[in-house]
């Protein structure tokens, strides 16, 4: 099993009747990248997304002409000024 804590990932992914609790979610987040469990989670996420959104998606992309930190500071974005990833010198 590819999880660090030995949780039963297949059982969690097959249970569509209830919300997962905090410990189960943490267990899924601790699955080892590249493991069989990891790819099972990706497959389930793909099926759920395609089902929910009727096989449609929206692509969001940034095109920047300047390379400086952004004041909007989104936590997911590498351009946020509090966690800017490019060398500013």
Residue-by-residue pLDDT tens, the chain, 89 positions: 454 544 588 888 887 778 889 999 999 999 999 999 999 999 999 999 999 999 998 887 777 666 788 888 887 787 888 887 777 66
Query: Dmax of the chain from CA atoms?
Result: 53
User: Are residues 68 and 46 located together in one domain of the fold?
Assistant: no
Give the C-alpha separation, 82 to 11, whole Å.
Answer: 39
Range of the domain at 20: 9-52
User: Are residues 47 and 66 located together in one domain of the fold?
Assistant: no
The model's pTM: 0.59
User: Are residues 45 and 15 located together in one domain of the fold?
Assistant: yes
User: Are residues 44 and 74 located together in one domain of the fold?
Assistant: no
Q: Which segments of the chain does DSSP mark as H helices, in order?
A: 9-14, 22-29, 36-52
pLDDT at 1: 42
Q: Does residue 2 fall inside a structural domain?
A: no
Give the number of other CB atoms < 10 A from CB of residue 20: 13
Neighbour-count burial of 65, counting CB atoms closer than 10 A to its CB (0-12 exposed, 13-18 middle, 19+ buried): exposed
User: Are residues 47 and 63 located together in one domain of the fold?
Assistant: no
């Amino acid at each position: 099993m590819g999880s660090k804590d030995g949780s039963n990932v297949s059982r969690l992914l097959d249970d569509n009747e209830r919300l997962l609790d905090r410990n189960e979610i943490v267990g899924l987040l601790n699955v080892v990248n590249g493991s069989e469990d990891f790819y099972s989670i990706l497959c389930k996420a793909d099926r759920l997304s395609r089902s929910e959104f009727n096989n449609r998606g929206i692509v969001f992309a940034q095109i920047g002409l300047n390379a400086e930190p952004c004041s909007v500071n989104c936590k997911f974005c590498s351009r946020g000024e509090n966690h800017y990833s490019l060398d500013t010198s």
